Every structure is written in C-alpha cells, then in structure tokens.
Structure 1
C-alpha cells in the first residue's frame, strides 16, 4: 500500500495534465449553497408527486410556472397550489387550515421551512365545461371532482353519484364488453363513498348505455352533470348568523351562498352585492338597494376567528375578479382607503378563454390515471364495512383504452344528445 501511494504521488506531481475532481465538486457545492434553494414536493390530483427546485428569494409564481410546465397545462388559471402549516392534506371540513400559494409574494415568506408538500388543486370551478377548450384540462377537473366526491367534500344524491361513476368507468375502461366485464368487474374500483354491490350493479347498467363515447366525451358529460349539483365547487366556511345559528358560507362563480347541513338555503349573487368587508371576526356583505327599499341592507356573520374571516373575504375577492371582470387591473376609486390592499393578480376567466381560443387547441396525448382499487379482505365484508377498506395502488392503465389524442376541432358529445341527433349534426 505504501509503494502504491508513493508511486501515485510521484505520478501526479510530474504529470502534464491534471483534473482536480474533488476541488471542482467542492466549488460546485459552494455555488449551490449560494443559491440558497430547496426542493418543493408537489402532489398532483392523480396521486403522483414531483420535486421542484426553487430559490428562497424567488416569488411563488416561479414554482407555479414550473408545475404548469411539468403538466404542459394550457388553461392553468383555474388551478392553484395549496399548503398547510401543519402538513395536512386539503380538508373540506377545515378550509381555514389550508392556504393558497400567492404567486405575487416570495415563496420563503409563505412556506417557511418547506417541510410539507404542496397540493395541486382546482381553485376556480368552471361554470360550464364547454368553456374549457383542452381535453387535458377537463380531465384534471374530473380528477378533482372525483376526489371531492370520494372525500365527501361534495355531497350529492346517490342517483347522481351512480351516474357520475358510470361516466368514470366509461372513460377508464371503454365500452362495456359482456365477454370481458363479468358480474363483479367494478367491485375492486373505488368510485363512490359507501360503495355497495347494489350500487355497482346500477353503475354497470348505466355504463352499458354509454357505448360509443370516447374518454373525452364521457368526461365532458361527467362535468356537465357535476356542475348542476347544488354544492358543486363550494368550499364551506363555518359561521353564525345574527341569531347565533350555525351556518356555512361558501363562494362560487355565482356569488356568496349560505348553507345548512350541506343544503344551500340562500344565494347572494355578485350582481346584488355592493360591498364585501371584514373586521376582526365579523364578515359583512352590503346589498344593492332595491327601488322599493328606503335603506341599505347590511348582513353580518360571525366567523370562528379573524383568520377565517379574512380567508373568506380573500376568496370573495378572487372569485369575483376571476369570474366577473375582464381584467384584474381595475383602478380603485379610493386609492388611500384603509384596510387590506389584497387583490387577485392572475388572469381572469375571460382572458384565459380568449387566449386559448386565439392560439387554438393543443394536440397532445396523455394516459389517464385509473381509479384506486379497494382491497378486499379474505372474509366477505359486511354491508356496513363495504367501501371502508384500505386503498391499494391502482391497476396499470390499458393503453388501448386510455391513451387518446385530443379531439381537435370536434366538440364533445353533449350528455343529453342521442345517437340520432349526433348523426344529423
């Protein structure tokens, strides 16, 4: 060993060409440290994850753009990234625990030490799926709504849940094939909460009726029915009215909705609202005075905390700007008014739709992620336990069913159109 070491030293000392690997590795490491960057893990709607490297001094818009580019997402303004200070996943029962990443602010101030993942989610639920030009965008919306249903954030009637599940099956496995799809071909797929054998039979019967629909058409029909659900796209915020009765407030493209026990009991549309404001734990909306009224109507709600009150107010600002304005850059009438100066900084729906129509649809291929499988126990589960078992990784996708090309100029078939109507067109 000593002889080898002595020979090596003599060899390197008298060589005419030397490449110092260790010194360059150390220099590269020092350069990376100067960047003071870190990896951010993003969890997508199909349960896949990806790490993105960002600098601590960068604005959050940097990582958001990396995410959109990773997905090759064109209609990106409907989506956002959520995070939790405690690391929990998005929870419809406690929305105040979640924060939307603000693209205009430095990422360091929002994520602190970045120990927890970011969640890619739909932020603005489109009012009509025909506004979405890209098949891939509609697919991402379907993933979000299916997740909302399974996690019981979106409450709906069993008949509607079964109908939506049948469109999911059509998009994933294609046309019903008697020789391939046995009596229990749906029993391992997680489609709706509390799934039972009776529900699976009803889903299978509806699946047979969707023969001929492509995955894109089935997903369009899925969205067209989902948007009609009363609680579609509503994220509830706990509050109390002036009689101290517990209620929930939610924000949609329509306006502010008031709910009790997951049932909508009142709606204040944007066209009827003059102002929205908050002060400490109180949230206020001022309604436009009707010709028959002699006074302004000011409604106040008590929120759980100042934080939840401000969170609801910010959601109102963002939804009104996105769905009702042509551009977010609207001059304030009173530039020196007190209070929060928060504004929505992204593009509006009007700008997104106009931009995509101007550029044309993107021809692309992608593989749809299959539904998760339900793991059945050795013994047959009871009726009460069915649908409550643990999850296993999904089955591998079938390329001939799921790998599709965008429809291009062809419009998706409407949910209410029959075969004769389609042939006439």
Structure 2
C-alpha cells in the first residue's frame, strides 16, 4: 500500500453505471466546474443550484423548475458528482429530499403549487420537527400538541430537539398530537409551520463535543400552523413515508464522502509509516475499504428494487443499512485516531471557552460517536428488523 494507492483509495469509488449515464455525468461535472461554490453563502449557493435547475431532479417532474425528471441512476450520478466535487453540505436538502416528495405523495395540489417552486428555486429552506427530549428514536411518543382553532388553523405548543437548520429555516414540518386523548401513533398530524413567528417560536443552538452547533432546540409557544398534510390524524402515515426517503439516492453520495475520509486516513497511515510498522492496522484499513464497497453494493441492490416483499423489506432494508453504515463510520473514526497514535490526543488549538481547537481527524472521531444514535438508534433499528422483518413478538410497551 504505497502513496499512489493511498491517493486512489477513494478516487474510483462510485462509478458503476458505465455508458448508460455517461452524458449526464459529464453534464453534472461540467456544471460543477463552471459554478464553484467558493464565495457563496449557504443561501446563495442554494439559489445558484436553483438557477441551474439542479434542485428537484428526483421529483419525476419538471413542472416546478428542475432541469430534468431524472431517473434513479441519474439521481445517484448527480449525488456522487456533487460529493466528488467537494461541494458544501446542502442547506436545502430537507425541503428538496424530504418534504417535497412527501407533498407530491400526500399533499394537496394547492400545497404542491405553494411550496415546491420556492424549494426548487433555492429560496425557501425547511427544517424537520420530529424528535423531542422524550421521543427521539421512539417517535410515536411525541407530546408536542396542536389545538385546532375555529378558522381551521392550529396553535402548536411543545419542544423539538436535534433540529438541523432551524436557525436558517423559513418553515418547519412538525409532527404533533392533535387528539389530546390519543396514545402512540394514533392522533398525530403532520403540520406545516412558518418559522418567522417572534415570541411564539424560539430556537436555541446545541453546542456539541466538537465545539460546533449544527443542531438546535425549538420551542413552540402557541405557534400558528396553517395546514396539515394528508389531513388531521394522518400524521403517522405521512411521517413514516417521509422517513423512508432518508434512505434514498443520497445514501450513495454519503458513501462518496466516506470514501474520501477513508482515503485521508490511508494517506496519514502511509505518510507516517504506520501502515508498514503495524500489520494489524494495515488489515483494519483494508477491511474498511472492503466493507465500504459492500455498503455500496447493498445500497444499489435495495435502491434497484431487488426485494420481492416491498412492504416488509422497505423497513428491513432501511434499518439494515443504518446499522451497517453507522458502525462502519464509527470504526473509521476510531481507526483515524489509531493511525495518529499519541499525537491524536493533542489538538492544534486555539482553545476557547466556546470551542475546542481540534483538527479534522479529531472532529471525525467525535462526530461519529453520534452515528449510532441519530436517525434512529441501533436499538430501534434492531427492533424494527426483529418485529417487522423476522416476525418476532413485539416488546411490551407502557
């Protein structure tokens, strides 16, 4: 494993569609080269993507402004090229990849016409109001309440947590309990809530071990909600449909990022000589590489609809994928520190009361500790597999 192989460790990862989508891949690469994101704010970059017609290509319609109704393969190609170009994390991905397909599947035509154009132009940002302090992976335990007013609108009161982009969002889709006497997944509704409601919505950043604050707490104090998606009481069905979208084509782009991180760890091992001194470390690096390719082929298999029992396998495939990549990414963080040895315990600084002075390797390790918790903890994923795929008896619930 020399320096050349270290540089190429993540370079060829991803391209598997051959000539089928070569022209589309060339188009995506050319646009990304011609429109470098440097100098853009997160908001202006979203608008740049919107002007290029790259937002909403997976909606299977060009009615709202996307440049094409892309096939699944083309969606994967775009996601891969975006990641390979080191383009920034998307501010608008929640609106584009979660809310918009949900509105197309469950929303009214009025809702589609109202919200999808703003998302496609990169002008309206959404956040997701699901998790609560007492209802994270166990989403059916939400306690945020929405009381219906005489004009048909709702007043929302409660707290959400781990809310990405809440400080930037124009809107939030909120899972709330509209039937005060209901329990578990009954009596829930999927509400669309404007975020610009001073005095009724408060957003507090959550500072993490890394010193950054990607997530937020959101407090609703009688916030006004205009409408539901799918009707009152249909929140659980709509919410589950939305969560299934989190395991879509973006999974392949995530793996491109993983490949780039692995390449950097291999480079550190080669440059420091650790890969030559320690055969166990060398074995771990090769195993990470092999497992990442396995993750990719599994994702392609499930996206391609190879399963026969769609209702059962959709839940199982999503849970298996989450278990596999979360543990893989955690092991990568641990491996990155092992390559650095004792030097990994000291950061470059500067140290302030607000943030730790840590480098990219240390940040990778710290952030990956959460991989097995967010997006559904490992325990919840195993429960889904046990109950919905293997047909084992359900755990007793209070």
Q: Could you say which structure has the larger radius of gyration?
A: 1
Q: Same-fold call, TM > 0.5?
A: no
Tell me the TM-score range normalised by the shorter chain.
under 0.3
Higher relative strand content: 1
Higher relative helix content: 2
